[in-house]
């Protein structure tokens, strides 16, 4: 038995049908590709609509164009990587992952069209309490914590960690948008900020501002 036939035999019926059609005769393949493309557009539109609730800036964006671009790019990736599908999930779940990730990547790029980069002002640290929902009624402890955070950032973080931490925490830049601006990826930024959070926490614990409990290391 050929590898493709072995794979199809091991899949659930619906996934097997998808793989067989997408690797079958040209006419059947084209028909199935068109159907998959339509499904990807629908998922992209739904996802963009869903994200408007958490990203209000999306209101002015041409969502339909973005959805079609995300679906087209996801389609190319799916066809290119079809040979790597091993049936660990349903075929459609595997395929939809591509379009969801494309939506995130497109939004990261689009962010800078509606939010031109600006230099961070010195007073930005004053916004820190709002970012953490610190209670204004506790203003003395609040001011003390903000100062301690500033010292932790200055004394424990590298220049790169400081740059990313302030962009995300103080400026509120979405992680995917920052990845686009710096020409890197989400994972690299997450790991840098993860390490920054761990170092700041350790500093605050060592200096008596936070309890030891819950400290993690990576």
Per CB under 8 A, the list member of 28, 83, 141, 155 interacting with another protein is 141
C-alpha distances in Å from residue 28, one per residue of 21, 25, 86, 109 = 6, 6, 22, 35
Q: What are phi and psi of 207, to 5 degrees?
A: -100, 15
Per CB under 8 A, the list member of 134, 162, 171, 181 interacting with another protein is 134
207: contact with another protein by CB under 8 A: no
Q: Which stretch binds another protein (CB under 8 A): 24-32, 50-58, 66-74, 117-125?
A: 50-58
The conformational region for residue 61 under phi > 0 = left, psi -120 to 50 = alpha, else beta, is: beta
Per CB under 8 A, the list member of 64, 135, 155, 160 interacting with another protein is 135
C-alpha distances in Å from residue 208, one per residue of 12, 16, 109, 134, 154 = 56, 59, 41, 18, 18
Per CB under 8 A, the list member of 67, 129, 157, 192 interacting with another protein is 129
Cα gap 174→190, rounded to integer Å: 11
35: contact with another protein by CB under 8 A: no
Cα gap 78→96, rounded to integer Å: 9
50: contact with another protein by CB under 8 A: yes
Q: Determine whether 205 is exposed, middle or buried from the number of CB atoms within 10 Å of its CB (0-12, 13-18, 19+).
A: middle
Minimum distance, C-beta of residue 2 to another protein, in the bound complex (Å) = 25
CA angle 138, 143, 144 (to 5 degrees): 100
70: contact with another protein by CB under 8 A: no
Q: Which stretch binds another protein (CB under 8 A): 16-24, 63-71, 75-83, 170-178?
A: 170-178
54: contact with another protein by CB under 8 A: yes
73: contact with another protein by CB under 8 A: no
The first and second tokens of residue 33, run together, are 């590709």
The first and second tokens of residue 124, run together, are 């930005």
Q: Which CB sits closer to another protein, 8 or 102? A: 102
Q: Which residues bind another protein (CB under 8 A)?
A: 43, 46-47, 50-51, 54, 88-90, 92-94, 96-97, 99-101, 103-104, 129, 132-135, 138, 141-142, 145, 149, 174-176, 185-187, 190-191, 194, 197-198, 200-201, 204, 209-211, 214-218
């Amino acid at each position: 038995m050929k590898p493709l036939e072995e794979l199809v035999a091991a899949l659930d019926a619906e996934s097997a049908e998808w793989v067989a059609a997408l690797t079958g005769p040209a006419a059947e393949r084209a028909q199935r590709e068109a159907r998959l493309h339509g499904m990807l557009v629908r998922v992209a539109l739904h996802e963009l609509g869903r994200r408007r609730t958490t990203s209000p800036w999306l209101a002015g964006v041409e969502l339909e164009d973005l959805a079609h671009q995300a679906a087209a790019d996801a389609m190319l990736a799916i066809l290119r990587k079809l040979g790597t599908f091993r049936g660990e999930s349903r075929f459609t779940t595997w395929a939809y992952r591509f379009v969801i990730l494309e939506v995130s990547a497109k939004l990261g790029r689009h962010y800078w069209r509606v939010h031109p980069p600006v230099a961070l002002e010195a007073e930005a640290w004053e916004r820190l309490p709002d970012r953490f929902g610190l209670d204004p009624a506790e203003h003395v402890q609040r001011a003390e914590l903000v100062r301690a955070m500033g010292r932790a950032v200055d004394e424990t973080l590298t220049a790169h960690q400081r740059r990313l931490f302030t962009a995300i925490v103080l400026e509120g830049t979405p992680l995917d948008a920052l990845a686009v601006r710096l020409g890197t990826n989400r994972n690299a930024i997450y790991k840098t900020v993860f390490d920054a959070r761990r170092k700041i926490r350790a500093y605050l614990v060592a200096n008596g501002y936070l309890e030891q409990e819950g400290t993690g290391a990576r």
